[in-house]
Amino acid sequence: MAAFLLWQMRTDAEHRSQLTANSLVQVLGRDIARNVELYDLSLQAVVDSFGRTDVAQASPELRQLILFDRAASAPGFAFLLLLDARGVIISGSNDLVPKGLDRSDTEYFRHFAAHSDDDGLHISPPAISRVSGQQMVMLSRRLSNPDGSFAGVVVGGIKTDYLRSLFTSVDAEHAGTVTLYGPEGIVLMREPFDRSAIGMSVADLPSYRRMIAMREGSFVGPAMFGEGQRRLTFARLGTEPLTLSIAVEPSTIYAEWWHRALGLGMVLLSLCGVTAGLTWLLRRELVRREQAETKLLAANARLAAQAATDALTGLGNRRRFDETVAQEWDRAVRGHRPLSLILIDADCFKGFNDTYGHQRGDEALRLIAGSIRAAANRASDMTCRIGGEEFAVILPEIDLAGAEIVAERIRTAVMGWAMPHAAGPHAVLTVSCGVASVPEILVPNAAALVAKSDEALYVAKEGGRNQVRTASMIARSLRLVS
């Protein structure tokens, strides 16, 4: 019985360590992947706009505004730089960018100059930026001329100090080393922090090669830093060449188990204390298990939040919309406060897909989503994609006049992109908007508010599309007719 209990305790120690490592890899890996994806969207926006003829013919001020309209501005992100085919800085997302500075000697510029077939995201080893003076992990994409020739590079960076703050802010008990690897096994960040390790390559080490071959999982292998064996838990982050790992010494995993085993042995030798000792150990074990389960539930809750997000646009999905509009309706009724809803529909979108294909249609939906997100940018605003080409914006504490302004900004922004739409009535991509607000209209529940917004949207589309209509306009028209 004593041997079985010791074996079970050892198994539990290993299980808890593995569970903690898996949860940490999932949570931290998702945050890092999301930040890289957000910054890459800004780079892609510059690449997409750069190739457009109308952008190239615009004035320098307007061209900079168009190119860097969606540039990421989070505290950990550096401003974007635009390099021409000679490696000279010609523009940037910040007025402080030193135009004319030659960056042709950088790793990322040499990479794209030498690889004409690489149009993906390139992640460079950490380096000190000559523009900001800070150490950064540089992210870059190739710019091409209409004939496919090399036109330059758009580049930005994520500050290594920001990555370090992400690593140290994770609230998880673990004994080990958390490491983020970039392409070719380059160490981008490590916790506990070791500045000498940043930028080193472990590509030739057997444990790293095994991680790359498996993509994700866990195994015991030689340490990549230091000596001895480590239990490595790791995962590839999305589609990017980034790998996150947690390395734990086996002796650390079982250190607490050894302590308990010795304690239990002493209890067994001392018959008078066996009952009290076992009770104490079991109680503490149950508490630890409950804590581990609580952390697992928290991780599952974070995953559930991801399930409420539309994968294509990054906006909330239909499920998120239904939950939020019901909650905001209840809050508005209890507090006697205004609540507005905008329903948005891409005009003649089936014809757009039939003409340009679904890939171009996805680009159009992302463009519309970006315009919506830019117009409805308060923390309390909720933007959702509720159907194929249908979107919704929930605006708490906003009356009809304010909601109509937001809707008009969205309509104008989408039309301003001038994305060709031969099958549409206006030759460019446009949207129609229906707006309803309480208490301007009297509705008994959230579903009725949605129905009124939908009626207004229908009137906008019947009236020629590319316009904003409100539920109050419909009500006034009906009174005039009667």
Model pLDDT, residue 230: 85
366 phi/psi in degrees, rounded to 5:
-65, -35
469: in domain: yes
Query: pTM for this structure?
Result: 0.48
DSSP state of 124: P
Residue 218: strand pairing partners? 233
5: in domain: no
Number of domains in the chain: 2
Query: How far from chain centre, in Å, is Cα 291?
Result: 28
138: in domain: yes
288: in domain: no
Residue in 363, 341, 317, 365 with CA at minimum distance from that of residue 447 = 341
Rg of the chain, C-alpha, whole Å: 28
477: in domain: yes
- For 399, the domain range is 318-481
DSSP state of 286: H
Model pLDDT, residue 378: 92
Residue 327, both tokens: 């909650």
226: in domain: no
Q: How do 468-470 and 431-438 pair as beta strands?
A: parallel
Cα separation, 322 vs 393, in Å, equals 12
352: in domain: yes
Model pLDDT, residue 322: 94
Which residues in the chain land under pLDDT 70? 1-13, 51, 53-75, 169-175, 239, 251, 253-261, 264-265, 268, 272, 299, 301, 304-305, 473-482
Question: Of 97, 132, 159, which residue sits at a domain end?
Answer: 159
Model pLDDT, residue 482: 41
Model pLDDT, residue 2: 59
Digit-coded pLDDT (tens) for 10-40: 666 677 777 777 778 788 888 888 888 888 8
Question: Of 105, 136, 159, which residue sits at a domain end?
Answer: 159
Residue 69, both tokens: 């309209």
Model pLDDT, residue 220: 87
Unique residue bearing structure tokens 């500075």: 101
363 phi/psi in degrees, rounded to 5:
-60, -40
Q: What is the CATH number of the domain that holds 71?
A: 3.30.450.20
438: in domain: yes
Residue 46, both tokens: 């510059």
Q: What is the CATH number of the domain that holds 429?
A: 3.30.70.270
Query: How far from chain centre, in Å, is Cα 32?
Result: 8
Model pLDDT, residue 168: 79
Question: 167-193 burial by CB neighbour count: b if 16+ within 10 A, else e?
Answer: beeeeeebebbbbbbbbebbbbbbbee
- Answer whether 122's CB lies under 8 Å from 139's CB: yes
Question: Of 131, 159, 187, which residue sits at a domain end?
Answer: 159
Digit-coded pLDDT (tens) for 190-242: 888 888 888 888 888 988 888 888 888 888 888 888 788 888 888 888 767 88
Which DSSP string corresponds to 336-398? T--EEEEEEEETTHHHHHHHH-HHHHHHHHHHHHHHHHHHS-STT-EEEE-SSSEEEEEEET-
461 phi/psi in degrees, rounded to 5:
-75, -40
